[in-house]
Amino acid sequence: MAKIKYMSENLANKIQAGEVVERISSVVKELSENSIDAASKSITINLENGGLTKIEVIDDGIGMDEEDASLCFGRHATSKLIREDDLFFINTLGFRGEALPSIASVSEVTLLTSTGKVGTELHLKGGKVLSKKSAPAYQGTKITVTNLFYNTPARLKYLKSEQAELNHTISLVERLALSHPDIKFTLTNNAKVIVKTSGSNDLKKTIHEIYGLQVSSKLIEIKGSNDDYDVYGYICKPEILKSNRNHMITIVNDRVVKNMDLNRAINDAYYTYKPDIKYPIVVLKIDTDPTLIDVNIHPTKQDIKLSKVDELYNLIVGLIKDALYQNLLIPVMNIKPQSEIENENIVNNFIQEEESIYNAKDNDNIQTTLDLSYKETKPAIITPNEKIKNLVLYPVGLALGTYIIAENEDGIYLIDQHAAQERINYEKYLNALKNEKVSTTKLLIPITIELSSSEFNKIQENMNLLTKMGFTLEEFGINTYLVKEHPTWLKVGYEEEQIRKIIDLVIAKEADFDYIKFNEHIAITLACKMSIKANMHISYEAMEELLQELVNTSNPYNCPHGRPTIIHFTKYDLEKMFKRVMN
């Protein structure tokens, strides 16, 4: 009896349809997802000329009998969604019954499939069956697509170069492999293996197979759950960052999705651990009841709608923040031979970033890495926060007017004096802003703040924020305030500068206001403005005090903008550089 059936018209009308085959990766995506849904354990994708000449997908799944093979190219014919209620319990990647007919309508397709008994071979062109015959009983399915867009010149015209199309397909297959580490994926182009995973069902091993040792050696495992969601995966330490969000991979019920709420949670969790324009490598697997998600809101099923998104946001942010805090580290600089660096550059130059769907600038598509230990030959040494408080550093000088040189029995440390004091000041300001009991001081001579009409109105609107922080403002003439009282945590001698900066931030407050983030923004801004700058020479005593305060902060490893404060050169590495040791 056939498994594939035509949907009722009423059910078909409820689906967010419109599956459009736009490029090579669109074809590979649909065919590979069908293979995954068919319980395959091995999927091989063979391309010729980046897929422009031929696309072949081979799997060892359950296959189809003759009747199903004949039905599968019909519009809205599917084995995955029959009743209207099934829309609320979708456990497969495909369900609309549109992918195969969409592909067949713009190409020439050969289907070879079998359930292990009698095989069936179909040959179609432009959606019409040219031939149908029996074939060998090969368990699984093989689909070959050629002459793509032969009858739609407009789409053919907008295909990119072979390399660009291949890059999109590589990125797609990598994501599929990460979402299904139990499946062995192989991608070849012109008989050359591009991607190969083992199907070990070990997510960390799969990440290693895709990203390599430099990334896999810096992974932090996270795992947690609440009443509705289970979250598991790996995040990368902040030394390795990318120029766009493409490596923040989120997988919901084994489906790779690009969801703004999930990306926002990841990005917010890394807040103060990285610059705003850089993004971490993260692979998160989220499992939940199918009734809590809607996968039918996007034509290509790339986005989903999540229920109880606030609870999921808090779970993800909490897990990542805790993991980062528990695994804080000082980057260790190790030097690689020039030949190794050149070989890495050759490999890295081959890899191109996938185009961002988040309207990133064109130059965001170039892969870049902000990695202060980019020449490492081994993982950086992890120094738990409770141990670094006992770290004794002896300053010996200042390099380039910016970097404090310190030493101890473990080697040499370079400390960026601006970033270090920025971290110290940030935590002081933030702790003061969090304190509900605000200590204030009255000004003998009030500070006059003149504003435009719109700015004056904005301050009037948000006066409660300033009052909560400990400021007392009084109207004084047209569009003018007198600051008569301020909190004691302002840096002495710089009160007016800091007050004006805080008022500017209140004026710039956005509609989607978050009080916690607002306080962090104030702390970051004031910390930067009130810290010693580069090329500012400080005394030996000031260096000692700065180092002592730094190691006693909650996160002495990076400034609130995500830049590192301290880098370690081990004694062994120094001796190796100077050839005092030869191994």
- DSSP structure string for 287-353: EE-GGGEE--SSTTS---EESSHHHHHHHHHHHHHHHHHHT-B--B--PPPHHHHHHHHHHHHH--P
pLDDT for residue 577 is more than 70: yes
Lowest mean pLDDT among 209-213, 376-380, 499-503: 376-380
- Considering only residues 188 and 82, tell me which one the structure prediction assigns the higher pLDDT: 188
Correct CATH for 202-381 of 3.30.230.10, 3.40.50.10490, 2.40.50.1070, 3.30.750.24: 3.30.230.10
Indicate the DSSP class of residue 282: E
In this structure, what are the phi and psi dihedrals at residue 235, rounded to the nearest 5 degrees? -120, 155
How far lies 521's CA from each of 77, 473, 489, 564, in Å?
53, 21, 16, 19
On average, the pLDDT of the chain sits at 80
pLDDT for residue 174 is more than 90: yes
pLDDT for residue 529 is more than 70: yes
Each domain of the chain, given as residue ranges in start order, spans 5-199, 202-381, 440-487+492-529
pLDDT, tens digit, for every residue of 395-434? 999 998 899 999 988 889 999 999 999 999 999 988 888 8
pLDDT for residue 175 is more than 90: yes
Average pLDDT for residues 533-540, to the nearest whole number?
Answer: 86
Q: Do domains 5-199 and 440-487+492-529 have the same CATH topology?
A: no
What share of the chain has pLDDT > 90, as a percent? 31
Average pLDDT for residues 80-109, to the nearest whole number?
Answer: 64
Lowest mean pLDDT among 78-82, 184-188, 292-296: 78-82
Strands 248-252, 282-288: pairing kind: parallel
Average pLDDT for residues 548-557, to the nearest whole number?
Answer: 86
Could you tell me the fold of the domain covering 5-199?
Heat Shock Protein 90 (3.30.565)
pLDDT, tens digit, for every residue of 12-51? 433 334 445 778 998 999 899 889 988 999 999 999 999 9
Cα–Cα distance measured from residue 567 to residue 393, given in angstroms and rounded to the nearest whole number: 12
pLDDT for residue 6 is more than 70: no
Correct CATH for 440-487+492-529 of 3.40.50.1100, 3.40.190.10, 3.30.420.40, 3.30.1370.100: 3.30.1370.100
Number of alpha carbons in the 13 Å side-chain half-sphere of residue 329: 20
pLDDT bin (cut points 50, 70, 90) of residue 312 is: very high
Please name which of 30, 20, 92 lies closest in space to residue 57, comparing C-alpha atoms: 30
Sign, CA dihedral 63-69-74-79, equals negative
Lowest mean pLDDT among 19-28, 243-252, 290-299, 562-571: 290-299
